[in-house]
Amino acid sequence: MESMAVSTSLPNTDEDFDRNVPRICGVCGDKATGFHFNAMTCEGCKGFFRRSMKRKAVFTCPFNGNCTITKDNRRHCQACRLKRCTSIGMMKEFILTDEEVQRKKDMIMKRKEEEAVRESMKPKLTEEQQHIIDVLLEAHHKTYDSSYSDFNSFRPPVRQDCQGTNPSKAPSVDSLSSSSFASHLTHSDLPDSNVGFVNLLTVPDQASSESSPESLGNSSFSMLPHLADLVSYSIQKVIGFAKMIPGFRELSTEDQIALLKSSAIEIIMLRSNESFNQDDMSWTCGSDDFKYSVNDVSQAGHNMELLEPLVKFQIGLKKLNLHEEEHVLLMAICLLSPDRPGVQDTAQVEGLQDHLSNILQAYIRCKHPPPGGRLLYAKMIQKLADLRSLSEEHSKQYRSLSIQPEHTMKLTPLVMEVFGNEIS
Ligand SMILES: [Zn+2]
Ligand SMILES: [Zn+2]
């Protein structure tokens, strides 16, 4: 076999070496370049060892056989230099033949090619898809103020100690449902989250009692003005967000209104997830004043038929750990549902929704790998189905709330316009 030795500096030898340790040639003390034939050496000693092995050279020391090899004198005595090579562990077995070198080069090339193929196969978002995601993110940032400072302009929250003061006078089903619309609306944005477990527990009892709505008194709906303002505010923000969704403004005004009317509460519930706090099951919007428990929401007239599934929904949504990109896409997809009542040009709405759901699926493929992204799209679509039943229950409760003038007068014109005014 041709002993044509070719030196190799293994590409991975660098990793074997602590970068902070000085690299000194074990033969001559010069600056080393890595491991060569099993020892840390400089390029000069590497070449010397390889050539010597290739030639099967036999050297004789002109001195007394124990020369000290340095960077400057390493050429003076080949015998002692080679002896030094062997003594620090350099081995001719580590010298590759031409064939081996070629095979190694081929392997490196092949690995690079495979890497390039893998890179090109990686799913990527198109520029257009990325652009739409950027537009939606910006739309959300412009319409969701996470400082919640605007809440100070709402009618102030009034909380009553229902449990202690009048347990028997718990809000009746009727009264709860009637006032619940407004509170639901508000809840979904941020206050909804206030539905604490304590409330959940107490409210069902109250609801089961047959007390008349009047027995609740105004106190039962003490949170209604504040939460109605919150919902009203949120509706405005949802409208602002919708207008920035690419394609939304190209829809007829009638269809824009139909979509907004039926999805507003659902979008509010979705966006309120940002403030939902799983630790205490509340929607936490800044200060304690604006920290809403289930109990608070029930004091705006909503009952557990809505609040319990709503809290479950918030927890489930939180657990998906959505990226903000996915969160905004989900809101836009929810808004552009072609099957909403009153939509005329369903094909156009469907086209927009399909486009957005394709972007969402592409985003998950590219940016949200398993385990987090596993079945994520399906789970998100399930959340849209959950929202439909929440919306239905909200509607029911709002309707019973809004048939009572003393409650409707606490709402806002926008809330009544969007959710309907049963009185008029
Ligand atoms: Zn050296
Ligand atoms: Zn010597």
For residue 191, how far is its CA from the centre of ligand 1 (angstroms)?
Answer: 74
For residue 103, how far is its CA from the centre of ligand 1 (angstroms)?
Answer: 28
Measured distance CA(80)–CA(59) in Å, rounded: 8
Same-domain status, 162 and 50: no
Along the chain (424 residues), what's the average pLDDT of each consecutive run of 10 residues?
43 49 89 94 96 92 94 95 96 88 94 92 91 98 96 94 43 33 33 31 33 43 94 96 96 95 97 96 94 94 95 97 98 98 97 98 94 94 98 94 87 90 52
| pLDDT score at 21 | 62
For residue 6, the cross-strand partners are 96
Starting from the CA of residue 64, give the closest ligand: 2
Q: In what order do the strands lie in the sheet with 276-277?
A: 276-277, 282-284, 291-292
Structural contact between residues 268 and 261, judged by C-beta atoms closer than 8 angstroms: no
Neighbours of ion ligand 1 (CB under 5 A): 25, 27-28, 30, 42, 45
Please say which residue of 82, 100, 119 terminates a domain: 119
**DSSP H/E element including 379:** helix 376-402
Starting from the CA of residue 65, give the closest ligand: 2
Measured distance CA(398)–CA(22) in Å, rounded: 76
- The DSSP 8-state label assigned to residue 9 in this structure reads B
For residue 87, how far is its CA from the centre of ligand 1 (angstroms)?
Answer: 13
Q: Which CATH number covers residue 290? A: 1.10.565.10
| pLDDT score at 97 | 83
- Residue 416 lies in domain: 127-422
| pLDDT score at 420 | 84
| pLDDT score at 315 | 97
For residue 88, how far is its CA from the centre of ligand 2 (angstroms)?
Answer: 16
| pLDDT score at 119 | 86
For residue 26, how far is its CA from the centre of ligand 2 (angstroms)?
Answer: 16
Segment 304-335, tens digit of pLDDT: 999 999 999 999 999 999 999 999 999 999 99
Structural contact between residues 202 and 303, judged by C-beta atoms closer than 8 angstroms: no
Same-domain status, 320 and 343: yes
Measured distance CA(305)–CA(184) in Å, rounded: 11
For residue 47, how far is its CA from the centre of ligand 1 (angstroms)?
Answer: 9
Same-domain status, 272 and 337: yes
Q: How many domains, the chain?
A: 2
For residue 8, how far is its CA from the centre of ligand 1 (angstroms)?
Answer: 16
Q: Which CATH number covers residue 83? A: 3.30.50.10
